[in-house]
Amino acid sequence: MSGDDTLVDELLNGKHRALARVITKIENRSPGYRELVSQLHDHTGNAEVIGITGSPGAGKSTLVDKMAATYRDRGETVGVIAIDPSSPFTGGAVLGDRIRMGSNVGDMDVFFRSMSARGSLGGLSTATTDAVKALDAFGKDKIIVETVGAGQNEIEIVKTADTVAVLVPPGSGDDVQMLKAGILEIADIFVVNKADMDGADRTVMELREMVQMRDESPMAGHHGMEDMAGDEVESDDADEDDGTGWEPRIVETVAKNGDGVEEFLSTITEHVSWLAESGELEAQTRKRYEAEIKTLLREDTAALLEEELAARGGVETYVDRVLERETDPYSVADELVAPIETCVRERRQD
Amino acid sequence: MSTEQEQRTIRCLVAKVGLDGHDRGAHVIARAFRDAGFEVIYSGLHKSPDDIVQAAVQEDVDVLGISILSGAHDTLVPKIMDGLREYDAFEDTLVLVGGIIPEDDREELYEAGVAEIFGPGASMAETIEFVRENAPER
């Protein structure tokens, strides 16, 4: 344990290698990583976390590079976590986002870390959350989480961010359609990147229409958090009449030469101050910790049950019996959960 | 306890350093490593030794594979090694060199801390096997 204690101290003292190693332990779920993250928790809560997502080739990495460079010019330190998919067959991955970080190579105060999805569904969002904590505890001012926006998993990941930006390349008429399915709800800011390309105006227009439609829909909500409305302070923006208070902004950028990046960053700042003023920040943080606790509980109980299953001879024997019509899946689940149920209930009564 | 089933994956940085634009070999090895189940970070072309060190430290890679075909290995590789030392990353990073390295220069690289040199004709399977066997325990 003492090795991990020094690791935490070294991380808090700003040693890059220690930070890198802590993230490795988080990713590998090495023995002792839970204690590590627990110890870090006390030192977190100071960084501003920005999530960037969008389809492959939208220019995410390039934009992140320019964002990091701009923050550095302002004297702020930056952490970046870039998540790439891994092969479901071999687990291998080529993590290529680093190549785009041309403006920040050699600058140690931009801590860039590539992570692969490692095929673990729930695990990735946990690992990301924990890695963000490590960067936060290390003292990074801004933390950017970058991921391909392909599905539910990615949505879970970007939810660790205070502000979520979705990149939409011009001319992606069909992509905009696709966005309706889920990514729309999570976007605080839409970035039409490659805005110098044909079709950019049209994409901006389509997005604008979509945002307006969203506002008219009673199902719409910011991060799906309207159920938290009890905690919400009335927004004082006179032009906001839907009660949610934040209408997703649309900004145009040309990431490769840095056009529009300043404007994008000030829109982020605007969103962050809105979060703070509206009380949404607190609500979001509460929601996030709640989700984190629930995820851990789910994973831990699942692991406990795996253990139990293995002790009883593995899932295969149960499958055999189900096939033979000796039992059925529900009964198997009941049988396995019963001892835990009894134990927990007895403890509670003590 | 329970979520601590370790899921270790070998991480590699495939690096091109200096004024050397020949990246076919680096691409091939990156793909082979990926297919072997490793996580591969590719540096891109024309990186300075400092850039490589930054990437190796931040990504906490088990293996650093430097591809050099320019003949500048005798100056570039020691610079990378010094950088790794500076950040305490020298001890537990397996450093490999691939490319055209004359026989006479090899000893010097080994002394600098390079674990193995793979020249033309080295088989992919052999390289992957070497990585599997020698990736540092952490």
Chain segment A241-250, per-residue pLDDT in tens: 445 588 889 9
* Distance from the Cα of residue A25 to its chain's centroid: 19
Stretch A67-73: mean pLDDT, rounded? 94
Q: What is the pTM of this model?
A: 0.85
CB contact under 8 A, B60 and A86: no
pLDDT beyond 50 at B124: yes
Q: For residue B1, give both structure tokens.
A: 């306890």
The 10s digit of each residue's pLDDT in A158-213 is 778 999 998 888 876 655 665 555 666 788 999 999 888 888 888 888 888 878 77
Task: Kindly report the CATH number that applies to the domain delimited by A45-278.
Answer: 3.40.50.300
pLDDT beyond 50 at A238: no
State the DSSP H helix or E strand holding residue A167, giving kind and residue range, or none if neither. strand A163-168
Q: Which of A181-190, B12-21, B42-51, B113-122 has the lowest mean pLDDT?
A: A181-190
What does the pLDDT read at residue A236? 42
**Torsion of Cα atoms, A63 then A69 then A74 then A75, to 10°:** 130
Q: Let me know: does A101 contact A112? Beta carbons within 8 Å.
A: yes
In angstroms, the CA B33 to CA B43 distance is: 14
State the DSSP H helix or E strand holding residue A78, giving kind and residue range, or none if neither. strand A78-84
Q: Let me know: does A252 contact A195? Beta carbons within 8 Å.
A: yes
pLDDT beyond 60 at A16: yes
CB contact under 8 A, B35 and A90: yes
The 10s digit of each residue's pLDDT in A254-280 is 988 889 999 999 999 999 999 999 999
Q: For residue B32, give both structure tokens.
A: 């082979």
A23: nearest Cα among A111, A155, A141, A122: A111
Which positions in chain B touch A296 (Cβ < 8 Å)? 3
What integer best gives the mean pLDDT of chain B?
Answer: 89
- Name the residue among A21, A92, A105 with its Cβ closest to that of B39: A92
What does the pLDDT read at residue A1? 45
**Torsion of Cα atoms, A145 then A149 then A155 then A160, to 10°:** 10
Chain B residue at shortest CA distance from A109: B54
Is residue A328 helix, strand or coil?
A: coil
What does the pLDDT read at residue A221? 47
Spans of all domains in chain B: 9-134
Stretch A289-296: mean pLDDT, rounded? 89
What does the pLDDT read at residue B78? 94
Stretch B44-57: mean pLDDT, rounded? 91
Q: How confident is the model at residue A55 (pLDDT cuts 50, 70, 90)?
A: confident
What does the pLDDT read at residue A233? 42
CB contact under 8 A, A126 and B54: no
- Name the residue among B39, B57, B89 with its Cβ closest to that of A116: B39
Which positions in chain B touch A112 (Cβ < 8 Å)? 55, 58-59
- Name the residue among B8, B42, B51 with its Cβ closest to that of A106: B51
In angstroms, the CA A210 to CA A206 distance is: 6
What does the pLDDT read at residue A150? 57
- List every span in chain A annotated with CATH 3.40.50.300: 45-278
What does the pLDDT read at residue A97? 81
In angstroms, the CA A208 to CA A249 distance is: 9
Q: List beta partners, residue A144.
A: A50, A80
Which positions in chain B touch A123 (Cβ < 8 Å)? 3, 7
In angstroms, the CA A295 to CA A322 distance is: 29
- What is the percent of chain A where pLDDT is above 90? 44
CB contact under 8 A, B4 and A94: no
ipTM for the assembly = 0.88
What does the pLDDT read at residue A142? 96
What does the pLDDT read at residue A172? 66
What integer best gives the mean pLDDT of chain A?
Answer: 83
The 10s digit of each residue's pLDDT in B59-107 is 999 999 999 888 888 889 999 999 999 999 999 999 999 988 999 999 9
Q: Let me know: does B22 contact A77? Beta carbons within 8 Å.
A: no
Q: Let me know: does A81 contact A192? Beta carbons within 8 Å.
A: no
In angstroms, the CA A181 to CA A15 distance is: 42
What does the pLDDT read at residue A37? 94
pLDDT beyond 80 at B126: yes
CB contact under 8 A, B138 and A112: no
Q: For residue A64, give both structure tokens.
A: 């992140």
CATH: 3.40.50.280, 2.60.40.290, 3.40.50.1820, 1.10.220.70. Which one for B9-134? 3.40.50.280
The 10s digit of each residue's pLDDT in A123-167 is 677 888 999 999 999 999 999 999 876 566 667 777 789 999 988
Stretch B2-6: mean pLDDT, rounded? 52
